[in-house]
Amino acid sequence: MNVELRHLRALAAIGDEGTITAAAAVLRLTQPALSRTLDQLESRLGTRLVERTTRSLRLTPAGRRLWEHAHRILAQLDEALAEAAAGPRPLRVGFAWAALGRHTVPLLRGWREEHPDVPVEVRRPADPEAALRCGEVDVAFVRVRPEGEAFGVRPLYRERRFAALYEGDPLAARRTVTLAELSGRTVAVCATAATTGSGLWPEGRGPAGTLEVANVDEWLTAIATGDAVGVTAEATRHSHPYPGVRYLPIGDAGEVTVHLVWLRAGAHPATGAFLDHARRVTGAQTGLRAA
């Protein structure tokens, strides 16, 4: 098909920036030159990659798939060139906002002591699964199992679910709470956390509503001010203590499974060793389904 790296860089920038103008500025090209490059790519593939109108631009399903592959291909090329010049690159590890709670520091310190030749670079992407697909991280710890054969998945351990409450809340004096006791409340929900959903509550006993927040800081602030309650994994209690917020175990909520995930294609050479290390540090439980 005679697709060149410049075509992939063009699509990657367009998908990232959302406009031809912004993508052209990032690539230091003129808008007409970038548009011609995109037209060439679509012509050579024989499919539409970008839907364009006078007011908006969005990737088609085919464009989004190629956008993910383009990021990964370009990242692997950059890494190969960097390794040729400076030696092996770090293992990039993606954590969600709660990381691994009490396991986080032992995991990272232990790896540094046992594998001083392979440094770990910690990243906290908003969406760890998307960061994997785009080649921004090599492995990621997630609490929602990704779908698809492209991913290698190893479940590590289960965590209890906790409620996060304003310290003046009548329930905050309890030792545990139930989902029924949280029903009728407004629940702070962050799209990147994914430990709270409508299916968690008994039928007909769900929250009164949700308060959408962008990150853990907004989530904690909403709870500390009494605007909402939170439902989260146990690691959040360890990683994010906060003035005015009390964490209580939810006695009747199912546990959350923590998974280590990586892309099978182009996996970092240290992925297997890191998986073994993570299993030892977390005391990985048997009987959890792997893929």
Domains and CATH numbers, the chain: 5-84 (1.10.10.10), 88-158+256-282 (3.40.190.10), 161-249 (3.40.190.10)
The angle subtended at Cα 256 by Cα 214 and Cα 210, nearest 5°, is 35
Average of per-residue pLDDT across 4-28: 91
Which pLDDT belongs to residue 84? Answer: 66
Average of per-residue pLDDT across 58-66: 92
Which pLDDT belongs to residue 197? Answer: 58
- 69 neighbors 49 (Cβ within 8 angstroms): no
Report the mean per-residue pLDDT for the chain.
Answer: 87
Backbone φ, ψ for residue 286 (5° rounding): -85, 160
The DSSP call for residue 203 is T
Which pLDDT belongs to residue 99? Answer: 87
Distance between CA 27 and CA 14 in Å, rounded? 10
Residue 196 banded pLDDT, cuts 50, 70, 90: low
Using DSSP bridges, classify how beta strands 120-123 and 91-94 pair: parallel, antiparallel or unpaired: parallel
Backbone φ, ψ for residue 266 (5° rounding): 70, 30
Question: Tens digits of per-residue pLDDT, 208-217?
Answer: 788 988 888 9
Q: What is the CB neighbour count within 10 angstroms for residue 224?
A: 19
Which pLDDT belongs to residue 61? Answer: 92
Strands (E), the chain: 50-52, 57-59, 91-94, 120-123, 139-142, 151-159, 161-166, 186-190, 209-213, 230-233, 245-249, 256-263
Length of the chain: 291
Which pLDDT belongs to residue 127? Answer: 84
- Residue 157 scores a pLDDT above 60: yes
- 177 neighbors 161 (Cβ within 8 angstroms): no
Which pLDDT belongs to residue 148? Answer: 82
The pair of structure tokens assigned to 28 is: 């230091």
The gap from C-alpha 247 to its chain's centroid, in whole angstroms, comes to 23
Which pLDDT belongs to residue 129? Answer: 85
User: Among 43-52, 112-121, 140-149, which stretch is predicted with the lowest mean pLDDT?
Assistant: 140-149
Question: Tens digits of per-residue pLDDT, 81-91?
Answer: 776 665 667 89
The DSSP call for residue 184 is T
- 227 neighbors 186 (Cβ within 8 angstroms): yes
